[in-house]
Structure 1
Amino acid sequence: MSEQAQPAFGRVLLKLSGEALAGDRGFGIEPSVVDRITDEIRAIHHMGVALGVVIGGGNIVRGALASQKGMDRVQADYMGMLATIINALAVQDLLERKGVEVRVMTAIRMEEIAEPYIRRRAMRHMEKGRVVLFAGGTGNPYFSTDTAAVLRAIEMESDVVIKATKVRGVFTSDPTKNPDAEFLPTVSFHEVMTRELAVMDAAAVSLCKENDLPIIVLNLEDRGTVSAAVRGDRVGTLVS
């Protein structure tokens, strides 16, 4: 697949789950997986697409899960935000070694390692051809990184949110638990909310619906799928 293929979207927000960085181990950061993910990001960048990336922190700590085990929810969520920053720094390092200019911007200020998130500055980085990694979630507890991804996509005036997961798209139920789950190549925001389909949390889906921002859900483990989606190929599920 040519990295120079004409993209269908000029500005993209890529949402990666933290678990994706862990690979088969299920926790931590697996270098071979990060290598593959950064190859995908580099390919999109070489198309001339303005790219923002939000990475979850579930490979290190999941705030909601920790709170269910008795930890204070606010404290747990802040731990989860810090986990996303660790992941962003790992991805930044490998992207820069592959010749991609990158900026990490955090919703929680820590100037020694990353820039604070300022919308106008982020827009300027994208205009200069830099990949922007948005870390630290929204900076507020009780909001998922899905919601953070959609919020940043709207602020950056993105054309689409691409959610890269471990399944090929949206199903009528969890395909890992139900072998009879039906794959849905297209689905409306209304259906996602009324049928409670596992796409993103309700706040994120509602924001997309209100701002007419489409979501493409696809399998990150299939090499080249994200690049294919950016070119406009039909992969995964289109939520609109």
Structure 2
Amino acid sequence: MTLPKINRILLKLSGEVLMGQGQFGIDPDTCDRVAREVKAATETGLQVCMVVGGGNIFRGLAGAAKGFDRASADYMGMLATVMNALAMQNALEKLGIDTRVQSAIPMASVCEPYIRRKAERHMEKGRVVIFAAGTGLPFFTTDTTAALRAAEMKCDALFKGTSVDGVYDADPKKVPTAKRYDSLTFSRVLADDLKVMDASAVALCRDNDIPIVVFNIRDDGNLAAVLRGEGTATIVRNQP
């Protein structure tokens, strides 16, 4: 897998990644391990911002399916992402990485409000910025938030850390013969509904020419390896 020259990335993590081996909530050891991965990336001179989902605490769609008003459920999910962002901030700062959490829903006692230019200045100074509370609006996923913030921050790529080592033509956990792709085009992902990210996020990355790199964040050292072009991952971009 060959990546273009990269100076700034957005790292998207699902909330489930922070559960570790648990079934709910935040595992401090997992946060620390992910923080070490991010630290290793920043030590190469890379500028990093992050978006973390909230599915380990509350997922809006799941809440709506159980009878919650969809908008209210989505706001609850946004608050879950703030908790995850604060957990990651704590883990990063324990390693000496200056980190700022910016929330799309203002909560001045907890973190900064999202201000694009301020976020850019933080990254230019070597700080990691974690974007929380989604877009601040219901009916949008954290995948879409990640694509939006990557475009706003002029990121060179969006790295999506998952529990599998790339994009497959079927669920590799259920289909042992599933084929992994080394590279894909945005058009192919949308046409075949490959579930890399939701369609609006993929379209945003396509329109802003931001490659999506899907890799396994659960393997120690994998983020650094993928950044060096040595790890296993799938890259989605406009050109095959």
- TM-score normalised by structure 1 residue count: 0.95
Deviations 1:66-97 (A, max 9, x none): 11111110000000000000000011011111
What is the letter of the counterpart of residue 41 of structure 1? V
Report matched runs for 1:87-98 at 5 Å: 87-98=84-95
1:83 to 80, 83, 95: 80
Correspondence for 1:212 = 209
What is the letter of the counterpart of residue 213 of structure 1?
Answer: I
Amino acid at match of 1:93: N
Residue aligning to 2:155: 158
Q: What is the CA–CA distance in structure 2 between the aligned matches of 1:49 and 1:82, rounded to whole Å?
A: 28
Aligned partner of 1:80: which letter?
Answer: G
Alignment of 1:237 with 2:237, yes or no, is no
User: Whole-Å Cα distance in 2 between the matches of residues 204 and 233 of structure 1?
Assistant: 26
- 1: CA distance, partners of 2:217 / 2:176: 20
Aligned to 1:56: 53
CA offsets 1:94-134 (integer angstroms, 9 cap, x no match): 11111000000000000101000000000010111100011
Q: Distance in 1 between matches of 2:40 and 2:5?
A: 14
Q: Secondary structure at the match of 1:140?
A: coil
CA contact (8 A) 2:47 2:126 kept: yes
Q: Unaligned regions of 5+ residues in structure 2, if any?
A: none
User: Percent identity over the alignment?
Assistant: 52
Q: Measure, in 1, the Cα distance between the counterparts of 2:162 and 2:170.
A: 15
**Aligned with residue 137 of structure 2, among 129, 132, 140:** 140
Question: 2 CA distance for matches of 1:29 and 1:23?
Answer: 8
Residue 139 of structure 2 corresponds to residue 112 of structure 1 = no
Partner SS for 2:143: helix
Give 2:27's aligned amino acid.
E
Number of corresponding residues:
234
1:16–1:163 contact (8 Å) kept in structure 2: yes
Decide whether the 8 Å contact of 1:57 with 1:80 is kept in 2. Answer: yes
Aligned to 2:177: 180
What's 1:100 paired with?
97
Q: 2:190 aligns with which of 190, 193, 196?
A: 193
Find runs of 4+ consecutive structure 1 residues off by over 6 angstroms: none
Partner of 2:215: helix, strand, or coil?
A: strand
Q: Deviations over 1:210-233 (max 9, x none)?
A: 111100000011111111222233
Aligned partner of 1:18 among 15, 20, 23: 15
CA contact (8 A) 1:184 1:237 kept: yes
Q: Which residue of 2 aligns with 1:3?
A: none
Give the match's secondary structure for 2:92.
helix
1:227 pairs with one of 218, 224, 235 = 224
Q: Which amino acid in 2 is paired with 1:33?
A: T
Mapped to 1, the partners of 2:226 and 2:200 lie a distance apart of 24
Amino acid in the other structure paired with 1:217: V
CA distance in 1, matches of 2:146, 2:51: 6
1:174·1:181 contact (CA, 8 Å) conserved in 2?
A: yes
Q: Which residue of 2 aligns with 1:74?
A: 71
**Cα distance in structure 1, aligned partners of 2:228 and 2:140:** 31
1:123-138 aligned at under 5 Å gives the runs 123-138=120-135
Moved more, 173-182 or 192-201: 173-182
Instruction: Tell me if the contact between 1:8 and 1:232 (Cα under 8 Å) persists in the aligned partners.
Output: no
State the shift of 1:8 in Å: 4.1
Q: Give 1:234 shift.
A: 5.0
